[in-house]
Chains A and B, each alone.
Chain A
Amino acid sequence: DAKTTQPTSMDCAEGRAANLPCNHSTISGNEYVYWYRQIHSQGPQYIIHGLKNNETNEMASLIITEDRKSSTLILPHATLRDTAVYYCIANNNAGNMLTFGGGTRLMVKP
């Protein structure tokens, strides 16, 4: 898996969009970008993944730059329940493990 770099922590006001950046400058052409989050005392939860194109689902949007060296996870209207650690992972799906880094601790404040 390519190395990913994320800010250690971020704050966001409730109701505003949360934009979580991730750098993956050494990502290879066949590696997908995955996002998971982990709420305290729970297992990680899959959010979204993408290869080249931007992706959107009911939880979030994923914006991947054209050169694929960075991406942004967008939570359009953050709620207090979105407070969690968010992990960005680059994975080629050929291996059978995800390599989690330290993630970004997002605090949504009222």
Chain B
Amino acid sequence: DTGVSQNPRHKITKRGQNVTFRCDPISEHNRLYWYRQTLGQGPEFLTYFQNEAQLEKSRLLSDRFSAERPKGSFSTLEIQRTEQGDSAMYLCASSSGQYYGYTFGSGTRLTVV
């Protein structure tokens, strides 16, 4: 068990470019979550998958954001036409059930310049 892995760790992009992040959850975890965290704030929920199905999306997830989990294993989060306000840490977490704690990855820090 190597924990939740996120790539890349850091991403700097120009405004207007598209970016994609990858999350590899713990292999036996069927639940996967994406959160966003800005400096000095707690993480904010973005979206949730159970297996390959995206079951919940936050209103924070504008139409420029899309997340997938094609085979119920790894997940990707894509941001199109990035804006400076998208600069944040993007965190992925997984869990094996609703009564268990989440295991978070170390996050991808996005800087939009």
Query: Interface SS of chain A: helix, strand, loop or mixed?
Result: loop
Contacts of A100 in B (CB 8 A): 42-44
B4 touches A43 (CB 8 A): yes
Q: How many residues of A contact B (CB 8 A)?
A: 23
A94 touches B98 (CB 8 A): yes
Query: B62-70, B77-85, B100-108: which one contacts chain A?
Result: B100-108
B102 touches A97 (CB 8 A): no
> B20 contacts the other chain (Cβ, under 8 Å)?
no
Contacts of B99 in A (CB 8 A): 32, 93
A96 touches B33 (CB 8 A): yes
Q: How far is the CA of A93 from the CA of B97 in the complex (A)?
A: 9
- Listed in ascending order, the chain B residues whose CB lies under 8 Å from chain A are 4, 31, 33, 41-45, 48, 50, 55-56, 58, 91, 93, 98-99, 101-107
- Listed in ascending order, the chain A residues whose CB lies under 8 Å from chain B are 32, 34, 36, 41-47, 49, 85, 87, 93-94, 96-103
